[in-house]
Structure 1
């Protein structure tokens, strides 16, 4: 995850790499066969958790088609909950602080 803060605007780049369960390599950032990624901006004066759209990407040459299809189905079911959970965790900390400042 990359986070950049300019004034009250925060910019995110979030990457979640999908690897085989028994992966033992040294370069997960290049060996993954699927990813969830998103880039977005959010104004910190908006005290809400942003809604983010994420579409999984797969690299078919890195894994068997049957496995890719199973993972893709599962990710499509759970991707929103995964990203929302990460964002709620991050934003819940800043929302509390900014609400106190506004009071």
Structure 2
């Protein structure tokens, strides 16, 4: 749930080098423990060990809008703006989907006023 900088040439090499595993992951209808996390792990390790990637730092936060503390976390994001990126996700069906939608809309309008 974070952005990942990827190189198309590295991705092409991974697809050729790990052809079978790549095919299995690509053709899975649902996530599986047998899938390989290409974008979030394999690409980075593969490129790094070939001296084609550098280490970096990204300050990020994950907010589950189904969590009781979601409003507080969203308010903090607007007030401090001290993360490079954030992910807003829902993991459960809300009791009041309209209230949840209003909370997210209010946050997005405050965070991105233009």
Same fold (TM over 0.5): no
TM-score (norm 2): 0.27
Q: Which has the larger radius of gyration?
A: 2
More helix by share: 2
Larger strand percent: 1
